[in-house]
Structure 1
């Protein structure tokens, strides 16, 4: 895997018989970063991911990798999908082989790789996602969280530079969410750029290096603190302010936190609090 910059500009995209879901949307995904993609249901998050992956051809605009535009030909899409992989929200839309190992090997086999290379890629992907013990397990016997991680492993086995994950934590219990986030951290350590769409503003705040909000058919991108602290933007996007920013702002107003960037999670918030509040004389 190597770092590449995935970007889109001027995207106009939608579906037949309906108004465009995206109109003039632009996003830039720097190499090696974690980007959280947020927006209300129907805002266009999945449409944007499908455009970025090449699965949907926009009516206008461009998708580029390191400045080179995606060409929607068989050869162009094949090359693009070796750089960018999309994992759908429902793992059952992607898992179809009898066993976990067979499913994860499907993509590398289609690349025409030698058997030893395929085995190496499958073993690496399963280990990174923490599901190597499930290699021989029938896919229909997996839990929902396991199926999600196996679906991601199938994409990782292609060794893409950029992983686009559509709601990878949706429907998971807290333990499964923690397992998934740990797996994503291991992927980033191995030079993957990860884009995750989510409705969870608190997760986006603590996890992401950058945040992109799909609103009014376009995209607003920036740092988590700036974007998720913008009340007007969140209101238009039908999102709530993360609790860490809400509580942190109140504590700062009370003089219990310094006038500096607000903590992004519970641990940072607790660490920033004084051991003993000053007692006015």
Structure 2
């Protein structure tokens, strides 16, 4: 499969949450190795879409495809799908249940029936990738909230999935915790993982993602992150606001769409050097 061909996709998915329709014909395409920010208001259907993509929720209509093959919601189909697609929930306490960190991270690989040496290798790799090796023997109930978030992510990473779906991975974290989580995601990127991050943080989405997928009115609008998060009409429908770099550039009449502080600084410097340059 070529690098930018779809790896995971949802086609015309309709689904309910608590018997209320939240997705009505939603589609999303996730190329191999991509970083996609999933955005939308509370109750828009972001988590339901992630659950559909992971196989945890069966849509009322439409289908989920992995490498072009439709997900089968039988025991064999779901087991195979979950070997390749992992979902990390927003609340780490929904996933952590073993006595200590190493045991918790080893749970998934052990359920695959892998040899003990392979399980140990996967656990060590995942703990290192999430920078929590020093916590291996720590009881899970003694972890900080940010540590629990990274350990829950390590448990998913130990499955060596092709796609990692993260529901609000930075929610509730202090600035240091956010930095540590983003550093872990950058290491995952280096390993070639396809990552979807559901978030309300438009500034984070703009700086981190390649593409955005905005859930509004039961459907998904997908495209380059800076383009979508500069679409005023879409932002109103999705109850989101324009990220600060795009808002500042617009107010100052600067050309381009800066995505983070460094790009904004460079844009301001160029503008100072070429004061007659006009915004497009």
TM-score (norm: length of structure 1)? 0.94
Provide the residue aligned with 2:257 in structure 1.
262
Provide the residue aligned with 1:11 in structure 2.
13
SS of residue paired to 1:82: helix
Deviates more, 1:156-165 or 1:269-278: 269-278
SS of residue paired to 2:25: strand
Provide the residue aligned with 2:44 in structure 1.
43
- Residues 234-256 of structure 1, C-alpha deviations (whole Å, 9 max, x = no match): 001100010100001222x2xxx
Determine if contact 2:17/2:48 at 8 Å carries over to the other structure: no
Q: Does 1:215 align with 2:216?
A: yes
CA distance in 1, matches of 2:216, 2:199: 14
Residue 159 of structure 1, CA deviation: 0.3
Q: Where does the alignment leave 5 or more consecutive residues of structure 2 unmatched?
A: none
- The alpha-carbon distance between structure 1 residues 104 and 279, as it changes in their structure 2 partners (threshold 3 A), is closer
Provide the residue aligned with 2:243 in structure 1.
242
CA distance in 2, matches of 1:106, 1:53: 18
RMSD of Structure 2 on Structure 1 (CA): 1.5
4+ runs deviating over 2 angstroms: 15-18, 274-280
CA distance in 1, matches of 2:146, 2:275: 49
Provide the residue aligned with 2:110 in structure 1.
109
TM-score (norm: length of structure 2)? 0.94
Residue 172 of structure 1, CA deviation: 0.2
SS of residue paired to 1:5: strand
- The alpha-carbon distance between structure 1 residues 279 and 243, as it changes in their structure 2 partners (threshold 3 A), is closer
Select the residue among 249, 268, 277 that pairs with 1:273: 268
Counterpart mapping for 1:185-200 below 5 A: 185-200=186-201
CA distance in 2, matches of 1:274, 1:42: 41
CA distance in 2, matches of 1:64, 1:222: 19
CA distance in 2, matches of 1:274, 1:161: 40
Provide the residue aligned with 1:160 in structure 2.
161
CA distance in 1, matches of 2:171, 2:25: 28
CA distance in 2, matches of 1:21, 1:274: 45
- The alpha-carbon distance between structure 1 residues 133 and 279, as it changes in their structure 2 partners (threshold 3 A), is closer
- The alpha-carbon distance between structure 1 residues 65 and 17, as it changes in their structure 2 partners (threshold 3 A), is closer
- The alpha-carbon distance between structure 1 residues 277 and 126, as it changes in their structure 2 partners (threshold 3 A), is same
Determine if contact 2:10/2:64 at 8 Å carries over to the other structure: yes
CA distance in 2, matches of 1:274, 1:156: 41
Counterpart mapping for 1:75-94 below 5 A: 75-94=76-95
Paired positions, count? 272
